[in-house]
Amino acid sequence: MKSVYEILEERGFLAQCTDENLRDILSKEKRTIYIGFDPTADSLHLGSMVPIMVLAHFQRCGHKVLAVVGGATGMIGDPSGKSEERNLLTPEQVAVNSAGIKKQLASFLDFTGGNPAFLLDNHEWIGPMTFIDWLRDVGKHFNLNHMLSKDSVKGRLASETGISYTEFSYQTMQAYDFLHLHDVYGCTIQGGGSDQWGNIVAGIELIRKTRQKTAYGLTSHLITTARGEKFGKSAGNAIWLDPNRTSPYKYYQYWINTDDRDVEKYLGLFTFLPIEEIRAIMESHLKDPGKREAQRRLAIESTLLVHGAEGLAKAQRASGVLFGAEIAKMSDADLADIFADVPSVALDSSRIASGMAIADLLFESGLCASKGEARRDLQGGGIYLNNKKLEGVEKSVTREDLATETTLVLRKGKKNYLLVKFLMV
């Protein structure tokens, strides 16, 4: 059986490790690992999936995992990878965001089984400490020269904006998290993105100085696309794990649109498919890349993982609409999500109360320039109502034809869509 270190390595997670002995240790012993999640929003995003999957792999291999929400550190802000000072969040914002993140993490990790994960908030142990406590018990163990040498600090010191004492002290807070978790939960490993290397090493040093114990750090690659774009963004917008922020359909479509050069890497990182199966998928995919077999499998597996079977079914049903599947029994929100870039018009709902001639609808909605054109298009079989081809010119449109509570979808030809909303005026 492969160790978790070997699994993470072959699936493309590992960037750096503070001690090569950890490979051997993890093949023989069960350890405790923690990864922190800053509550800068009330939802995690796609970039958060890498550390979540690391924890999940550790748990599946029998190790104890701790997911720590930064209720305290989130009020300070991590300067790592940032070119300027973050806006400070209020305690109320942090509390709301922490609650949202805790709920999401519970979807990925097992908190109730025989080897339950622990969901913690560092405000529980940092919050009660006084400033004097902090300086005496924590601050005295940090060498200023070492703190100034951190890449996250040096970059900011060289900039015009500089760095505040608040953000400068962040590394001491994350280091103390590691010490506290070491003392209370026996945690000896901290994970994180490669931008967290300096903060992780600070925690390892604090444990060494104060407890004379050895701790370890693992970092994961910060993911970018083959095009050089930031991973987890679509048209500049983050892909969130919360379905109220990013619908299952948009989440599914993000993976469907994966570049061929990235898809094998993403199958390793964002699914639990065995490596052998991933290789077989890629072998089949490369025979006919146009079918996007690998992207479809990636979309299915990741959407199922994040949104469950119901979310996957919803995403696939919505995706089918774009390829001509009949549209029926959808919500206004779902339809708007699918046709976000399609023009729409609004008509008085009374127009269809007793039936509206389809030729009149095509003309008044603007899809056809005249009623004569509408009739010719209908006779030619080029008009679709909710993706169903209309035969002849006699159709009378009623409320029964609505695809959602208020809307129907007209299509002229293959791609000329129009949403018609019937509203109370």
| pTM, entire model | 0.83
Q: Which amino acid is at 193?
A: G
CATH 1.10.240.10 residue ranges of the chain are 233-321
Q: What is the DSSP string of 353-422?
A: TS-EEHHHHHHHTTSSSSHHHHHHHHHTT-EEETTEE--SS--EE-GGG-SSSSEEEEEETTTEEEEEEE
**CA 65/CA 118 separation, integer angstroms:** 6
CATH 1.10.240.10 correct for 233-321: yes
What is the sign of the dihedral through the CA atoms of 314, 320, 326 and 327?
Answer: positive
Task: For 327-375, write each residue's pLDDT tens digit.
Answer: 887 888 888 888 877 889 999 999 999 999 999 999 999 999 999 999 9
Buried b (16+ CB within 10 A) or exposed e, 90-101: eeebbeebbebb
Task: For 173-213, write each residue's pLDDT tens digit.
Answer: 999 999 999 999 999 999 999 989 999 999 999 999 999 99
98: Cα separation from own chain's centroid? 16
More confident site: 6 or 95? 6
For 336-423, give the CATH class.
alpha beta
Q: Which amino acid is at 25?
A: I
More confident site: 246 or 65? 65
CATH 3.10.290.10 residue ranges of the chain are 336-423
Instruction: Say if strands 233-234 and 237-238 run parallel, antiparallel, or are unpaired.
Output: antiparallel
What Rg value do the Cα atoms of the chain yield, rounded?
A: 27
> ∠422-423-425 over CA atoms, to 5°?
130
Task: Could you please state the CATH topology (level 3) that the domain comprising 4-220 is classified under.
Answer: Rossmann fold (3.40.50)
